[in-house]
Amino acid sequence: MSAIQHNRTVLRTLEEGDQIEFNRGLYSHWAVYIGNGMVIHQYGDGHLYGAGKLLSKVCVIQSDFLDVASNPSNRMVKKNNDKDEKCSPLYKFEIVKRALSRLGQIGYHILWNNCEHFASWCRYDKSWSEQADRFLARFK
């Protein structure tokens, strides 16, 4: 199955409030599905995005799922609500409302305020990034 076919298959399974993980190899990009093929996520300038430091030019935007999925750096896309095993998700309408409330918000930090923190905050009311936690655990 081609990446485009895979992404369209994933899109058909998504429900409002789902978290989407875009695997980029060394790290993953995260978004919240809000319905009608649209996601909300943190996005920044290509040459600054993910540089591993505080990036004030990153902001929360709404994008077409297939446009985000077609980014060449996104290898594999999947619905990922795995944190449901540890946290109780909010109601779908509340998740979408929270995501929409952050549109235009500026600010990013790879360890304290990244796209996974944002997606988790929307779904669980808990700003949490497992990939940041794994990185920080190396220094304990």
Give catalytic residues, as residue numbers: 29, 41, 115
Residues 6+ apart with CB under 8 A from 13: 79
Cβ atoms within 10 A of the Cβ of 98, count?
19
Question: How many Å apart are CA 8 and CA 3, to the nearest integer?
Answer: 9
Question: How many Å apart are CA 18 and CA 13, to the nearest integer?
Answer: 10
